[in-house]
Amino acid sequence: MLRMGKRLFLFAAVNLLILVTLSLTLNLLGVRPYLNANGIDYVSLMIFCLAWGMGGAFISLGLSRVIAKWLMKVRVIDPNTTDPRLSWLVNTVHKLARSAGLDKMPEVGVYDSPEINAFATGPARNRALVAVSAGLFENLGNEQIEGVLGHEIAHVANGDMVTMTLLQGIINAIVMFLARVIAFFVAGGKRSDSGMRYLITFVLEIILSVFGMIVVAAFSRYREYRADAGGANLAGREKMVAALEALLKTSRYADLTKRESIAAFKISGSPRFLKLFSTHPPLEERIERLRRFA
């Protein structure tokens, strides 16, 4: 119950921060209401949608490391730890990061969960966090773990966190813009009832967001294949294949329900969603693709 309360508080705090920040930004920019006596002011509407659609996504990205540490209870490992197992984990991440050309080493952490998984997050290549679950750390061998870490470092090196946030922000802005323009005309233009217009906008945003999710999920699957290839280059193809095979055997423990923004950057996805909405390709396909190009 206490944990659920913390999640609700964090969700409310982040959204309040987004609301206040974007409201102040729009006021400073002098953005006027997009509806006026002449109909729609498309410039004002475009700025409004871009600010809300992209601003919220990038504020969340900026807070992603803090959110991950608090929500997932990630324990960041001191690079000077005397624990040989934890020291190996930090040194392996840093070795892979140097091979990937990162200027600043990512933070490395462990979170308590029986799931066999790992994730990378952070607002930039040089401000990243790589975390592994206790289940992965305890049940996989060193070579398999190195394959997993190679995959996550490839995400960081490829700038996937920023790229996916940018794409999500653009999709959000397009959805908001189209929903408001269509609702304005469907509801009767300047003579429309504001309550009816808001209702139509709400329904259209839900419908258009579904199509947006398909686009984001498709690009996410492409990004996972790239991270697999990057992990194979950094850690070795056999280690990457071994990591994915281990995840396939233990996929029932891959719990992605904690937070979608973090789940999207985990190495293993859930097969429960329809394929069009899945952020991760099936593990079997990822293994086959790596073997095919061996």
Q: Show which residues are catalytic.
A: 152
Beta strands, E only, the chain: 35-36, 39-40, 75-76, 107-111, 118-121, 129-133
Q: Which residues of 263-285 are buried (b: 16+ CB within 10 A; e: fewer)?
A: bbbbbbbeeeeeeeebbbbebee
Taking CA atoms, 240 is separated from 40, 151, 247, in Å, by 53, 8, 11
Cross-strand bridge partners of residue 129: 107, 121
Note whether 219 and 164 are within 8 A (CB): yes
Q: Beta strands 107-111 and 75-76: pairing type? A: antiparallel
Nearest to 155 by CA among 131, 123, 122, 120: 120
Separation between Cα atoms, residue 245 and residue 149, nearest integer Å: 15
Q: Which residue has the tokens 């190996």?
A: 88
